[in-house]
Structure 1
Amino acid sequence: MRVKILILTNLFPTPWDPQRSPFNRQQFERLGQRHDVEVLAAVPFQERFTRAYSHVEIPGLRTGHFVFVYPPRVGRALHASCWLACLLLQHGRRLRDEHYDCLLASWAYPDAVAVSRLAKRMGIPYAVKVHGSDLNEQANDPPRRRKIRTALHGAGAVIAVSQALADKAVSIGAEASRVHTLYNGVDGERFMPGSRSDARARLQLPATARLMLYVGNLKQAKGCIDLLEALPALLVEQPDARLIYVGDGPCRELLSQRCAALGLQQHVELRGAIPHAALGDWFRAADLLCLPSHNEGVPNVVLEAMACGIPVVATRVGGIPEVVPGYAGILVAPRETSALAAALREACQRDWDSKRIALHGGSFRWDDNIDRLDTILQSVATESPAFDTGAMA
């Protein structure tokens, strides 16, 4: 059965952030091959008026955006109301005439909270997809936790990217029978093993240096500073080691300053954001991927690196332990620089089985993911919505 789905989220490419959330782009694009899918992305007002515009077009999807205006720094309890008000002011009349079969919110707060209220207004069912810090951090605040609980409890399905996150959703108030663990997938045509020397030649990287790769947002919670602080201890044993950061974010300047203070300029590069389609060579060129996040769901870069046969050094948080077996990486506690440095040293000395790692990473297939997502959303779309009386709270 073909259904009409409206996806509402802040995690999707926009004209002001075209590289945002490639995992959602890949998933929703594939879902659009089976159903009539429209995606509306929430764009924070600061981003809308401070970043350059670039055209974004995704085959098979109707896409759009709305500008999300909210009180900065204070008034976070009002964000869901602001989110919904902005959406309705900019798209409300059209949305009422579209006759969607179901809504999907991808992010718990404020997105899912606002979507739960929108679904009640429209009289249609909704599902919620949760990713990591939207529950692990946002739900730690009591007022927000209550709103998130109501949104999860009223959802026809809650889709979690890890079992740890699924358990968290149930503990907050989601009905266990409606919670599904659905790991993201890997594009097997882009992320596969290949020649390290050829990849380095294409990227103009040193042929013999020990190369560690960080891919992701440059922010404190991703552990990018922790990784830099761990590097000097590794250089004692691996003086040719190089650390390359692929990504951008608020910590970029701090990383540059700290790198200079530690005298690491010859060993560290900040390459900036790179299109998702070009990441395959970066993984194949690396000796290992390093992602010492403080909290996570299941980062797709971990799955993609393993699919390329690259081992992972990461933190034992969120769903990472569920997807990184001992033969594919080393996990440490977050925020422990000495343990991270020891793990990097061990990883550089260990003889990894790249074929086994690639076989494991490649087992996370988008086709399997979409099959299950398709089944879940069709089930939600065919159910009568049962709205909690507290949904408008």
Structure 2
Amino acid sequence: MNNGMVGPPLNSSRSTEPHRASGREVLLLTSLFPVRSAPNRGVFIDHRISALAASGEKATVVDLGYSVLGVRRGSARVRPLPLGIDVLRFTPGIPSWQWRHLRRGDVTAAMVARYARQLARQLDRSRYRLIHAHGMFGIPAGAVARELSRILRIPYMVTFHGSDVNVLMPQQPELFTATITESAASIFVSKALQERAESLGHLPTGNLHVIPNGIDPAIFHSKGRPEEIPLHLLYVGNLNPLKGADRLPEIWELIRAEHPAASLTVLGGGPLHTRLQSAMKGTGTMFRGTVEPPAVAEAMRSAFLVLLPSRSEGWPTVILESYACGTPVIAADVGGSREAVGMFARTVSEGPSFEQRFARACLDMVASPPSPTDLARHAQQFTWAALHRAEADVYARITED
């Protein structure tokens, strides 16, 4: 992890006037809140905010959205924020042509600058010492923070979570590169994600950090895990090609060929739900849809093995959540999966015969599983409280510099 700090590049358009960080609060920007239609979307943002509040930090969270022709789009929160955290739901009106740009992920610098100016007029500038943006999805919080930093004269930092770098940065490398380069710090949830960003843009080396997403040990733990578990496997995630859900039928057929009595539970929803239900009918598979985290944890404690055949990941928190419950994971070798599984499993590389190789890795794990106690002990290093302490160290370095 590189914890050095650098200033803006010499050719930056930012003002050379020193930042005035006289306020006490953190201004947190994101468009990743859980919403009614997707209650687990961006749940890691909620956990980070809770850890921030538990540490005694004061913050204002700006829930970035917009409205088109009077119709609000963006977050409609399903969970309350912790005490000590204020929230501003910001949904300015935008022209329909800008909405079309947003849907394509094609955001212009002029659009971002106008949005940031509108937001600045809603803020008490004296309250804040630092801007922390999460993600570059939809309304690109990091790019908005960059513009807002110029207006408020305080430093900003950005945390990148996965698809923003893997999917959107190749479409707009200049916007991402400028956002990262001019930040006081940029955090990536895995080393693999940082390396991906570095491959797409010429980035400074002094302001890049790796701080993964964490687990909630009050929910994800191994207490009550049965000593003897039948061969029951589990998939947790969105049912879409990015998460490799389309690979499940072949993988499961190969596993069942050697263990006909094995069963599989699928937790999650998405565009492949109906197709998968039809393809896997009569194969000992149960589809339960999207469930709340406590139900996910209970399913993990009851499983012998969790499957993660994703094509793309930032930091797959599901691995550490499963470990905390004492359950091993077989994962595709994408993004931060190799970092997350640690020494307890091998990941399966992309390429020809992926499904066959993934199924074989599962069968090998079934034959020789790791100790549930060792898995749970490893996961406890990644609690939200521990990871917030690393984040707070970055806050301190920025505001002290």
**RMSD, aligned CA:** 3.0
Change (3 A) 1:126 1:54: closer
Moved more, 78-87 or 374-383: 78-87
Aligned to 1:182: 211
- Contact residue 127 and residue 155 of structure 1 kept, 8 A: yes
Tell me by how many angstroms 1:51 deviates. Answer: 11
The structure 2 residue matched to 1:248, chosen from 255, 269, 272, is: 269
Alpha-carbon separation, structure 2, partners of 1:79 and 1:239: 54
Moved more, 306-315 or 171-180: 171-180
The structure 2 residue matched to 1:305, chosen from 322, 327, 352, is: 322
> What does 1:1-393 align with in structure 2 at a 5 Å threshold?
3-14=24-35, 16-33=37-54, 34-43=56-65, 55-60=78-83, 61-67=85-91, 70-71=99-100, 75-78=104-107, 82=111, 85=114, 89=118, 91-97=119-125, 99-109=127-137, 110-141=140-171, 144-171=172-199, 172-197=201-226, 209-259=230-280, 264-326=281-343, 328-334=344-350, 336-383=354-401
Identity %: 26
Change (3 A) 1:72 1:234: farther
Amino acid at match of 1:149: T
Tell me by how many angstroms 1:318 deviates. Answer: 1.3
- Contact residue 14 and residue 65 of structure 1 kept, 8 A: no
Alpha-carbon separation, structure 2, partners of 1:80 and 1:291: 37
Amino acid at match of 1:339: R
Change (3 A) 1:50 1:247: farther
- Which ranges of 4 or more aligned residues in structure 1 deviate by more than 4 Å? 43-46, 48-55, 72-75, 79-89
Change (3 A) 1:284 1:153: same
Amino acid at match of 1:273: T
Moved more, 280-289 or 342-351: 342-351
Aligned to 2:14: none
Q: Secondary structure at the match of 2:218?
A: coil
- Contact residue 128 and residue 157 of structure 1 kept, 8 A: yes
Render the CA deviation track for 1:129-149: whole Å, top value 9, x for unaligned: 0112211222222xx011100
- Contact residue 185 and residue 365 of structure 1 kept, 8 A: yes
Tell me by how many angstroms 1:55 deviates. Answer: 4.5
- Contact residue 8 and residue 40 of structure 1 kept, 8 A: yes
Change (3 A) 1:156 1:87: closer
Alpha-carbon separation, structure 2, partners of 1:84 and 1:279: 41
Render the CA deviation track for 1:62-115: whole Å, top value 9, x for unaligned: 2343448621687532267556655655x4422254632111111135221232
Alpha-carbon separation, structure 1, partners of 2:326 and 2:306: 10
- Contact residue 135 and residue 168 of structure 1 kept, 8 A: yes
Change (3 A) 1:296 1:84: farther
Change (3 A) 1:53 1:11: closer
Q: Secondary structure at the match of 1:103?
A: strand
Render the CA deviation track for 1:306-361: whole Å, top value 9, x for unaligned: 111110010111111112134x2231023621111212222222233211111112
Q: Secondary structure at the match of 2:347?
A: strand
Tell me by how many angstroms 1:232 deviates. Answer: 0.7
- Contact residue 313 and residue 329 of structure 1 kept, 8 A: yes
Per residue, is there more helix in 1 or in 2? 1
Alpha-carbon separation, structure 2, partners of 1:79 and 1:353: 51
Aligned to 1:386: none
Alpha-carbon separation, structure 1, partners of 2:279 and 2:149: 47
Q: Secondary structure at the match of 1:192?
A: coil
Render the CA deviation track for 1:38-60: whole Å, top value 9, x for unaligned: 222335779x8799967431222
Moved more, 308-317 or 358-367: 358-367
Change (3 A) 1:79 1:280: farther
Alpha-carbon separation, structure 1, partners of 2:184 and 2:147: 14
Tell me by how many angstroms 1:292 deviates. Answer: 1.1
Tell me by how many angstroms 1:2 deviates. Answer: 8.8
Render the CA deviation track for 1:115-166: whole Å, top value 9, x for unaligned: 212222322210010112211222222xx01110000000000111112222
